[in-house]
Amino acid sequence: MKIGFIDGWNASEGIAAPETFEAFTVFGVMITEPIYNLMSIIGVIGLLIYLFSKDKMMDEFLTKLRLEAVQLTFILTALFMFAMMLFNSSFKVSALGLIEYQLVLFLVINKAKKLWSLPGEGVMDE
């Protein structure tokens, strides 16, 4: 007996059904899945534009700080994902969610490195 893709999808045994998006409201506005996806993509694009923008005075020191922040971001993300898979086998995160978390983590680490690593000043004007 030949089973098609849809039949296999609908009648899969032992495989959990894919999670469905549940609409929610924020300040009285109903957020559905397409609106949520659009807002996530716009947020990621905005963060990417900010990440790839240059500082007013880009030198080797700031380039080194940015590289260290990228390295630390990926190391922390890998450790977090490994720990979550090790201790919680049912942990799931979407690819878009992981990218968002990495971008925000990079922003925090990069800003902290700038504030704490400046020679002599300690605070950076923006």
For residue 80, is it within any domain? yes
How far apart are the C-alpha atoms of 107 and 69, rounded to whole Å?
A: 8
For residue 9, is it within any domain? yes
Report helix angle 95-117 to 60-87, nearest 10: 140
- pLDDT tens per residue, range 32-85: 888 888 888 888 888 788 777 777 776 788 888 888 998 999 999 999 888 888
Instruction: Read off the tokens for 1.
Output: 């007996």
Nearest to 104 by CA among 40, 55, 58, 56: 40
Beta-bridge partners for 31:
24
Instruction: Read off the tokens for 26.
Output: 């924020």
For residue 57, is it within any domain? yes
Residue 123 has pLDDT above 50, yes or no: no
For residue 78, is it within any domain? yes
Total of domains in the chain: 1
